[in-house]
Structure 1
Amino acid sequence: MEALIPLLMFIVVCLVLLLGYPVAFSLAGTALLFVSVGIVAGIFDTSFLTALPSRLYGTMVNETLMAVPLFVLMGVMLEKSKIAENLLEGMALIFGRFPGGLGISVTIVGMLLAASTGIVGATVVTMGLISLPTMLKQNYSPSLATGTICATGTLGQIIPPSIALVLLGDVLSSAYQQAQLSLGLYSLKTVSVGDLFVGALIPGLLLVFFYVLFQFILALIKPETSPAVDKQVLQKNVNRANSLFTNLVPPLLLIFAVLGSILAGIATPTEAAGVGALGATLLALTKKQLNLKQLAEVVQSTTKVTCMVFMILIGASVFSLVFRAYGGDEVIHSFFSTMPGGVFTATLVVMIVIFLLGFILDFIEITFVVVPIVGPVLLAMGLHPVWLGVMIAVNLQTSFLTPPFGFALFYLRGVAPNHVKTIQIYKGVTPYILIQLLVLIILACWPKIVTWLPEQMYGVQ
């Protein structure tokens, strides 16, 4: 009977979340409810709770997690100061003269914007407000336009430097150490956020390549869905485009400098995030796009996102501690080890569960709740930690696109014009969902696509 308590905890917390209660308080509240019932029933060992203060303190002083508010500040600063808007408009004007060029430029800029913000909602809303009216005005198919924006907006999950990868890196590092201890290994190896960044680089670029290839082929087969921008419009805006092109260089250099310093090992993700936040602020100042009002909005937005992340992390820490106190780790390990098909079936089940949870939970909740539970078991079965992290990130990206519950669809629906029908958005994301699934299959069949670069650069085995 006691073996069912961890499963019951997981079911209860999902039901509470579906009722609309805040995630952080749902996690902690559910855990404390089960603690209270367990104490009354005499089946809960209260000595487990003595570890809680040290765990929470360790979370607050975690140097890796300090990168989160800095990356958020960088992204929000680029968004609020309209530097991101200039980036999108400039690239669209430059490449829009070719059939399908406007959509391709939106994809490329969306990739850069996703990397700078790292937040799916912010990227989709920003691109929806800026790019969607332009694409519709140039007679792009509403389905193609909305599908492209949703798909490129979710690239923030996988394109480094990504907040999702920062959080996954921290959680997987702990899970990897737990897996090694469970195998009797005491000379512990670690996996860093930098390892995940490097591992995600090729899969992220592979996704962008397939997106662009799809749009290029579609422009050849059905040119009416993605026509070239009218020559008169280009002629009218040619000077503006050239001016914007010069303005594109500083933000692009900033993004490449942040990512390059991490990949080259010059700076840790936290240090690079600090440079990125300062660089974005200086860019806004030099372009006279920053005043006290905008600065206050940037600080408020950054504080809200950061508080949300850390409150969820605290709630998840309480939940995972109580889950382990009830023997949840042993239950999960027993379930996977007795499953027919071994590690393949176990990984497939976890990926399906994460995909389905992506309909109702954000990546932050899944990272802090699900990954600490299943991660140690899967890693103990021999999976590569970097490969597992990248697979989870791409998987979540796919679930965020899938109708009818995908988060990206809701974000775009909120800012899309009324004449754009919801069914058109669903139709538009379908090819990109198939591309995502194709990439997942490719990564599953050839894990070296993920692990080769970290092994070459850092010797990660």
Structure 2
Amino acid sequence: MEWMALVLFACVCGVLLFGYPVALTLAGVSLIFAGIGALVGGFDASYLTAMPNRLFGIVSNETLIAVPLFVFMGVMLEKSKVAESLLVAMAALLGKYRSGMAVSVVLVGMLLAASTGIVGATVVTMGLLSLPSMLNRGYSPAFATGAICATGTLGQIIPPSIALILLGDVLSSAYQKAQLSMGIFSPDSVSVGDLFVGALVPGLLLVVLYLIYVMVVGVKSGKSDDAAMNIDATATASATEEPEQSLFSALVPPLLLIIVVLGSILAGFATPTEAAGVGASGALLLAAFKKQLSLAQLKVVTMDTTRMTAMVFMILIGASVFSLVFRGFGGEELIHGFLTELPGGVFGAMLVVMLVVFALGFILDFIEITFVVVPIVAPVLLAMGIDPVWLGIMLALNLQTSFLTPPFGFALFYLRGVAPPTILTSDIYRGVVPFIIIQIVLLIGLAIWPELATWLPETLYS
């Protein structure tokens, strides 16, 4: 009955394409298959007895407490108009250069990724604020939309990233399972902090590659003028300040918050969960400092945080049901045998997994892939000797690439929703292609030199 495990996976993906809720689809389809398997035979129902312990483990997982805290931090910073202030100040400072606006978009996108970490919010905010100005400055629609989509997805790889938090929790369990399968009983594991540190060098390299590309192309297409940005009256209020003073006042508060949050993790002073609490408190103080904090604002932020957190945990519960039913059909052994028998050994197995994850990124969100696919393949790859930090960063970069890939890239949908009708969907598709190539080049580089992801964690924690 092992083939039923593959049919289960295919049915889940098919039902998701019809737009049904992810969490209910994962759990509902899995339980239907479990019932069919119990009737016809071949399903080991004893796996379902582990469900109560699984659910208790999810809701009592200290690492996952960082999710609502970082989400709250990101939503609060978004509502307090940090992005607007940064874009206005950066554009005013770099506006005299021909590629200044494009460089501003990348730099602000990087800072928003390190402070909010929410891809959808970043893409929408950048699209509303910077797209009209980039078009006015002579940038082609394809280049402008591509730059915004690409920089908006930096929140997938630059810490503190929700994707890295979820990957860290899943990889920790997978690493312990891989150790046990090899007869090794060790308390060592991979932590979210390890992934945060490991993602710094690849994330900054990606930003540098983006900057090189937009400066080369921007010089050819953009116009240089002294106008800052045509956003709105409230955003241009800072134009009365000197560009350097405006940039300083807009940049320092969020930068200090980023340094405190990430610095406390890197220095070992705080766990990611504790740092998330500091970040959430700092975002509140920053909003109050900017006079953007009110009871109504706090209610909106709290509701958005609750909605996103509930979605994440419901998907995790549904994915746990799927995982147990998948194992009950013998799917885990099937995947293990398939990957270990592939030609090319570790390289062949890793290549197939990366291609599958990339393909699934067309139809599934990173949360579903993290909770459904990674727990199945990660224990096998880790048992084959792959470094867990390197594996986590490779998966995060791969998922980030899938966010951009037409026709189903989520970042493309986010921007399409706020772009003016004069921007064609084909323009957005063409614009992201160079950035996808850049990400693939970085993925290949990371595959050739794993030290790009592993050197910094080994240096700090050795």
Same fold (TM over 0.5): yes
1:16 corresponds in structure 2 to: 15
In the alignment, the residues of structure 2 paired with residue 430 and residue 162 of structure 1 have an alpha-carbon distance, to the nearest angstrom, of 24
3-state SS of the aligned residue for 1:140?
A: coil
- Structure 1 counterpart of 2:148, which letter? I
Aligned partners of 1:188 and 1:243: how far apart in 2?
Answer: 50
Q: Note if 1:458 corresponds to 2:461.
A: yes
Q: Which moved more, 1:280-289 or 1:42-51?
A: 42-51
1:378 corresponds in structure 2 to: 381
Q: SS at 1:456's partner residue?
A: helix
Q: Which residue of 2 aligns with 1:44?
A: 43
Q: CA deviation at 1:9?
A: 1.0
**Corresponding residue for 1:424?**
427
Please list the CA deviations of residues 348-386 of structure 1 after superposition, one character each: whole Å capped at 9, or x if unmatched: 111011001111111100000000000000111111100
Q: Deviations over 1:147-186 (max 9, x none)?
A: 1100000101100110000000000000011111111111
Q: Partners of 1:163 and 1:229 in 2: how far apart?
A: 38
- Residue 84 of structure 1 and its aligned partner are, at CA, apart by 2.5
Which residue identity is paired with 1:207? L
Distance in 2, matches of 1:232 and 1:160, equals 29
Shift of 1:76: 0.3
2:223 pairs with 220, 227, 232, which one?
227
Q: Counterpart in 2 of 1:184?
A: 183
Indicate yes or no: 2:70 matched with 1:74: no
Q: Any conservation in 1 of the 2:114–2:160 contact (CA below 8 Å)? A: yes
Q: What do residues 87-107 of structure 1 show as CA deviations (whole Å, max 9, x unaligned)?
A: 222222222221211111110
Aligned AA (2:323): S
After superposition, residues 97-108 of structure 1 pair within 5 angstroms as: 97-108=96-107
Contact 1:79–1:85 (8 Å) recurs in 2: no
- Aligned sequence identity (%): 66
In the alignment, is the contact (CA less than 8 A) between 1:102 and 1:229 conserved in 2?
no
Q: What is the distance in 2 between the residues matched to 1:33 and 1:153?
A: 38
Superposed displacement of residue 21, structure 1:
0.6
Q: How many residues align?
A: 455
Q: 1:297 aligns with which of 295, 300, 305?
A: 300
Separation in structure 1 between the aligned mates of residue 24 and residue 381 of structure 2, nearest angstrom: 28
Partner residue in 1 for 2:217: 218
Q: Give the aligned partner of residue 355 of structure 2.
A: 352
| Structure 2 match to 1:436 | 439
Q: Is 1:32 aligned to residue 28 of structure 2?
A: no
Q: 2:88–2:228: 8 Å Cα contact kept in structure 1?
A: no
Distance in 1 between residues matched to 2:254 and 2:320, nearest whole Å: 37
CA distance in 1, matches of 2:89, 2:191: 36
Deviation track 1:290-348 (CA, whole Å, cap 9, x = no partner) reads 11111111001000100000000000011101111221111111111111111111111
CA distance in 1, matches of 2:228, 2:191: 51
8 Å CA contact retained: 2:92, 2:226:
no
Q: Distance in 2 between matches of 1:410 and 1:247?
A: 29
Aligned to 1:252: 255
Q: Could you say what secondary structure the match of 1:345 adopts?
A: helix
Amino acid at match of 2:370: T
| 2:246 paired residue among 243, 248, 266 | 243
Partner residue, 2:121: 122
Q: Give the Cα separation in 2 of the matches to 1:132 and 1:78.
A: 21
TM-superposed CA distance for 1:133, in Å, is 1.7
CA contact (8 A) 2:91 2:228 kept: no
| Larger CA deviation: 440-449 vs 335-344 | 335-344
Once superposed, which parts of structure 1, at least 4 consecutive aligned residues long, lie more than 4 Å away?
231-236
* CA drift at 1:230: 3.0
The answer (yes or no) to whether the contact 1:199–1:450 under 8 Å persists in 2 is yes
Map Cα deviations across residues 38-97 of structure 1 (whole Å, 9 max, x no partner).
Answer: 121233233222211111111101011000000000000011121222122222222222
CA distance in structure 1 between the aligned counterparts of 2:460 and 2:144, rounded to whole angstroms? 38
Structure 2 CA distance for aligned equivalents of residues 145 and 233 of structure 1: 14
Which residue is 1:266 aligned to?
Answer: 269
Residue 141 of structure 2 corresponds to residue 139 of structure 1? no
**1:240 Cα shift?**
6.1
Contact 2:394/2:443 (<8 A) preserved = yes
Amino acid at match of 2:224: A
1:7-47 deviation per Cα after TM superposition (whole angstroms, max 9, x unaligned): 11111101111111110011001110111111212332332
Deviations 1:413-449 (A, max 9, x none): 1000111111111111111011001000000011111
Conserved? CA contact 2:192–2:272, under 8 Å: yes
Residues 168, 192 of structure 2: 8 Å contact kept: yes
Q: Is the 8 A contact 2:95 2:228 kept in 1?
A: no
Are the aligned partners of 2:55 and 2:317 in contact in 1 as well (CA < 8 Å)?
Answer: yes
CA distance in 2, matches of 1:34, 1:376: 24
Aligned match of 1:3: 2
TM-score (normalizing by structure 1): 0.96
Q: For residue 388 of structure 1, what is the aligned residue in structure 2?
A: 391
Q: CA deviation at 1:227?
A: 2.2
Q: Is 112-121 or 360-369 further displaced after alignment?
A: 112-121
Unmatched 5+ residue regions in structure 2?
A: 231-235
- Structure 1 stretch displaced more, 128-137 or 152-161: 128-137
Question: What is the match of residue 89 of structure 1?
Answer: 88
Are the equivalent residues in 2 in contact too, given 1:138–1:230 (CA < 8 A)?
no
Distance (Å, rounded) in 2 between the aligned partners of 1:297 and 1:231 = 34
CA-atom RMSD in angstroms = 1.6
- Pick the aligned partner of 1:407 from 397, 402, 410: 410
> What aligned pairs does 1:58-73 form with structure 2 within 5 A after superposition?
58-73=57-72
Q: Is the 8 A contact 2:362 2:408 kept in 1?
A: yes
Question: Which amino acid in 2 is paired with 1:229?
Answer: D
Distance 2:322 2:192 in 1: 24
**Offset of 1:130 from its aligned partner?**
1.2
Give the CA deviation at 1:245. 2.9
Q: Tell me, yes or no, if structure 1 residue 201 matches structure 2 residue 200.
A: yes
Q: Which residue of 2 aligns with 1:149?
A: 148
Q: Mean Cα displacement is larger for which, 207-216 or 91-100?
A: 91-100
Provide the rounded CA distance (Å) in 1 between the counterparts of 2:214 and 2:41.
62
